[in-house]
Chain A
Amino acid sequence: MFDSNSALISAFSMLLTGDREVWSAIGVSFSVSLRAILIASPPAIAIAFLLAYKSFPGRRLVLTITNTLMSVPAVVVGLTVYLALSKNGIAADLRLLYTQPAMIIGQVIICFPLLVAMAHATFVAGDKLAYETARTLGAKRIPAMLTVFLELRFGLLAAVIAGFSRIIAEIGCSMMVGGNILDHTRNIPTAIALETSKGEFAMGVALGIVLLSLTMLLNVMLAMFQGDGQ
């Protein structure tokens, strides 16, 4: 029977003694998800800016598709990426299946619509005079856009945090395209699933604690960049 107290004690012991498997999964999780969010955020925010500030045919359609894609389950993204990268897939030659780049591709696809939708909402709610003011004071288009990003950094970083939170905790795609290989593609969620299925609750709890703690630490660091949020 599961004893929560002993599982917690074992969990902290694993963390403090530097258990290799635990820390390997932590390393993979953060390495993959940080790279995915860093790849996805700049183009997603730029697209959101264009959707909010420019009129072009099909703009509403792009927004509708983006909003629809937000609700696609991670496992469906995983399946699609798996099919593309597997032996008979369109990207089979890349030989990326069961590697970290495959996990990154999947996570970029998962967080991209969320980033676009949330950044777009931030731009729409923000004061559009910021862009015009920057332009009339002599800023070229890209610097003026960067000024708007800086002005709306609270909302934009909230979008990035939401995107990161979605992919650091997803399991379906990582399991499918990563394969849960120890020291290579085993991240925190896939390790929790594996260890729990084996009845190793302590490790699952330890990884759960780490996932929450490190995500909170990252949020605190991002909040410091955001300012007071008023």
Chain B
Amino acid sequence: MSLGNTTFSLTAKKLTFIRDTRVILDCESLKIKKGELVLLTGPNGSGKTTLLKILAGLITADTGKFMLGEKSFTNFETPKCLIGTCIYLHQTPYMFRGTVLANLSYGLKRKGLGNNSIRLLVDQAIRKNKLSHLTERKASTLSAGEQHQVALVRAQILKPPVLLLDEITAHMDQKARGRTFEIIKALQEEGISIIFATHDDETIKTLSGTFLHIDNGCLTS
């Protein structure tokens, strides 16, 4: 079954997720182009987080066909194919113990890169995102806004084709929000596709992208 073509970064079809007879997600089709920003809106409990976690491979859908670039796979293969490729960012990011530098290096270490390569990539990302003042700080001491920035850069370093942002601006002040929008725009320019679940009017007004609405697990454009 052909699911799409390579202009799409990620395609998902016939996604369903049912728990205890309750339909949490019933999505006919979802396509996201390379470098596209999709703003995903919907009320609380509508299925936004479930959808994003399925697309990140953190939850396995009951049914579904996927295509990432040119590679197609079923719902059962999503943990293998999507983990570490489509990166999910929580509403409240988790910072590992240790410094910001250690956090930024985490994913690269899991990829098996050598120390020199890791240092080089992390240094580049720090310079690009103006984070040099934070690198030696304990990640747990950062403000909420700073933690989100570090979490975004920690994902960006891995150069994922798709980033899945779950209401990450929900508890940010104006300044942190502005800084986060800058990073998101830079990510788009790098060709990273982004699905951004949000309730926030300012986010919707500031970031231009495709709109998707989800209600009772059903997606509409």
Contacts and interface: CB of A to CB of B under 8 A. Distances in A.
A136 B96 contact: no
Given A138-B83, A143-B110, A132 B96 contact: no
B65 interface: no
B84 A138 contact: yes
B194 to A, nearest CB: 14
A137 B92 contact: no
A150 interface: yes
Contacts of B94: 127, 129-130, 132-133
Nearest to A150: B97
Contacts, number: 53
A136 B110 contact: no
A136 B59 CA distance: 11
B142 to A, nearest CB: 15
Given A130-B96, A132-B58, A150-B97, A137 B110 contact: yes
B90 interface: yes
Most buried by B among A135, A143, A150: A135
A147 interface: yes
Contact of A137 (B53, B87, B97): B87
A127 B58 CA distance: 16
A129 B83 contact: no
Contact of B158 (A132, A133, A138, A227): A138
B37 to A, nearest CB: 19
Interface string A118-154: 0000000001011011111111100100010011000
Contacts of A134: 96, 106, 110
B110 A151 contact: no
Most buried by A among B88, B94, B111: B94
A129 B92 contact: yes
Contacts of B83: 135-136, 138
Contacts of B90: 129, 132-133
Interface of B: 53, 56-58, 83-84, 87-88, 90, 92-94, 96-97, 106-107, 110-111, 154-155, 158
18 contacts: A127-B94, A129-B90, A130-B96, A132-B88, A132-B90, A133-B93, A133-B94, A134-B110, A135-B57, A135-B84, A137-B84, A137-B87, A137-B106, A137-B154, A138-B83, A138-B107, A139-B84, A140-B110
A-B interface, 8 closest residue pairs, ranked by CB to CB distance from nearest: A138-B84, A129-B94, A137-B107, A133-B94, A138-B110, A136-B88, A139-B110, A138-B107
